[in-house]
Chain A
Amino acid sequence: MTSKLVGIESSLAVSEAVKLANVDVIAAYPITPQTHIVESLAEMVANGDLDAEYIPVESEHSAMSACLGSSAVGARTFTSTASQGLILMHEVLLVAASLRLPIVMAVANRALSGPLNIWGDHSDAMITRDSGWIQIFVENGQQAFDQTLCAFRIAEHKDVLLPTIINIDGFHISHVIEPIYFLDQQTVNEFLPPYKHPYALDPDTPVTIGCFAGPNLYTESMKALDSALRESKKVILETWQKFGEITGRQYKPVEKYKTENADTILITMGSYSENAMMTIDKMQSEGKKVGLVRLRLWRPFPYEEIVEAISGVKNVIVLDRAISLGGPAPVCSEIRAALYATEKKPQIVSIVGGLGGRDISPADFITIVELGIEKIKSGKTEETIMFGVRE
């Protein structure tokens, strides 16, 4: 394998991965902060660097609909969106999963209206949680590049056949220029076999997809889809294992950072994990027993791994970058549920922060950990803390 270090904007690195994956169809609609990804792909197609169809549709709903069509005939299909665009796709997103169409989509995560806000948080991914898509979170441009390639292999595996989202924090990752290792075409070709959908629409062997299912079939379809999504974890693990062998970059559904000896663990997801790591380094150097757990795989939810990572510790502080209005914050809620049946349950505190692009600095993370520990001491762990809110 040859691997080249390039200084490049993360969005363009995602496009490079899509090009290396040699996609057949891209259908997309412009929306901030995703636009650079599809703009650069449009340019590659126009320049003849990528032999693909680029469909400039009239809305995100049409983008996902076009992706359904192209994926159903067996074309490797990619799109990218964010925020309002993702939620406008919703009707079709669920159909993509139920039709088992392995579309790959990069989502440059951004807040949802209203109020209108173009900056980053995880509201769009969270509201898409139950759509049947595999969802992976990344923390920097390198991971965005790597996971885009992995996503095609995972999604298109014959035992998976499920659409896959790579969540790339809007601006904090999408617009940052970083040194990123690219893979060469041959390595990618070996890692990513050509896509062949076993039930693609083909006039020689006609099939009907998307048909009606009454009460006698709907439950079974849902069970089948749910099982497929849960079982996809096996292929996800295999894919990351293989990718690690090739590149030396290891990915796991739940990644631990200096958790040995920690009695307090902070849990983060996405780009803020890097700030959190700096904080953990600092706090540990001051003798504090804190560690970090980063959640990479959001769907299917990695129950066993999260239990393994945190059961037995005293305090767990979960930072969500999305709010579930009127209910518990989404990531924390999953973690509480995962831990409920275990014997050595930690005390869990939910913190919501970083909404609509508000920064959380390494210094803020120290405050977050301190606030969390204080909350646990006060015994009021059922209350969610809104971090940094001006009241």
Chain B
Amino acid sequence: MNNPPENDQLSIAKYLRQDRLPHIWCAACGIGPALNCFLRAIDKSGLNPDKMSVVSGIGCSGRVAGYVKLDSFHTTHGRAIPFATGLRLANPELKAVVFSGDGDLVAIGGNHLIHAARRNIDMTVICINNFNYGMTGGQVGPTAPYDVRTSTTPYGNFESAFNLPLLLFASGASYIARWTVVHLHQLENTIVEALLKPGFSFVEVISPCPAVYGRMNKEPDGLDSLKNYVKRSIIKNGADPRETEITQNGPIVVGKFVDIIRPTLQENLAKVAAKAKKPSTK
């Protein structure tokens, strides 16, 4: 990413810590475009950026917390969601956005992801899914489809992957969508919706990692992955999450899958607190 002009109010420049750029991401990595969509979505949502906090874990996507000029927190590996839970409950005025990768959110932090969805805490999670641990050199993770090659499965992955929309649906998330980084407009609009949605919203972003995952799976150039996404993507809003599994070469179902209303953790907490409150003696 070249440094965007600082005085261009229409651009995302105002949301980036210029002194931290250039970023560390490899050429043609998908994290940059996804971040771009998120920053544009902040403007579009009309939310006050001064009341927004961005929390990331560890990994390439985890660097986002360090690049955005918002209140941000770069946490330990896997713990972005519990950190965000604490800050969201302690300061209800702050909107909490977790921006992190699949290895961080679904592997080492997987337990937190399902519990946050179950609680339906008011929070948005943007999950970059590039099917492997990019930063440490492309090892297999729980989002790697069966039979793909990674640095720890050189002859093919022998485990099966999570179908994230289904996992999140079963756990109770209010809003679930998935796009690839070729669907930039849709992704931006989806993030706007997710930010404005009460309860737990989850946006999965299928994203190329040309440096390691791509190199090992016949997509050594980011453009190869993008072309592949164009070919394989099927837009299907409202798709049954049971039909959104991603396989090595099969279709990638994208769209908004779940958008329901369910009491949020904050609402339920307020109700129980009201019941428990004793009349003041003062």
Contacts and interface: CB of A to CB of B under 8 A. Distances in A.
Interface in A22-44: 29-32, 35-36, 38-39, 42-43
Interface residues of A, number: 21
Interface string B125-141: 00000000101110111
A59 interface: yes
Interface residues of B, number: 22
Interface in B112-161: 133, 135-137, 139-142, 151-155, 159
B155 A59 contact: no
A56 interface: yes
Interface in A304-332: none
B153 A56 contact: yes
Nearest to A57: B107
A58 B142 contact: yes
B76 interface: yes
Contact of A35 (B77, B139, B140): B139
B210 interface: no
A47 B154 CA distance: 8
A84 interface: yes
A43 B77 CA distance: 25
A46 B135 CA distance: 22
A110 to B, nearest CB: 13
B3 to A, nearest CB: 24
B78 interface: yes
A284 interface: no
B153 A42 contact: yes
B108 A39 contact: no
A341 interface: no
A43 B110 contact: no
Contact of B78 (A32, A43, A59): A59
Most buried by B among A31, A39, A56, A84: A56
Contact of B108 (A47, A58, A113): A58
A217 interface: no
Contacts of A47: 154
A36 B154 CA distance: 14
Contacts of B78: 59
A152 interface: no
A240 interface: no
A274 B81 CA distance: 44
Nearest to B144: A56
A42 B154 CA distance: 8
A60 B155 CA distance: 24
Contacts of B151: 39, 42-43
Given A30-B136, A39-B137, A39-B139, A54 B77 contact: no
B152 A56 contact: yes
A29 B137 contact: no
A30 B133 contact: yes
Nearest to A36: B137
B95 interface: no
Contacts of B159: 56
Given A30-B137, A84-B76, A113-B76, A38 B152 contact: yes
Nearest to A31: B136
Among all A-B residue pairs, the 6 with the closest Cβ atoms: A42-B152, A30-B136, A59-B108, A58-B107, A30-B139, A46-B154
Interface of B: 58, 74, 76-78, 107-108, 110, 133, 135-137, 139-142, 151-155, 159
22 contacts: A29-B108, A32-B136, A35-B137, A38-B152, A39-B137, A42-B152, A42-B153, A43-B151, A46-B153, A46-B154, A47-B154, A54-B152, A56-B139, A56-B140, A56-B141, A56-B153, A58-B107, A58-B110, A59-B107, A84-B58, A84-B77, A113-B76
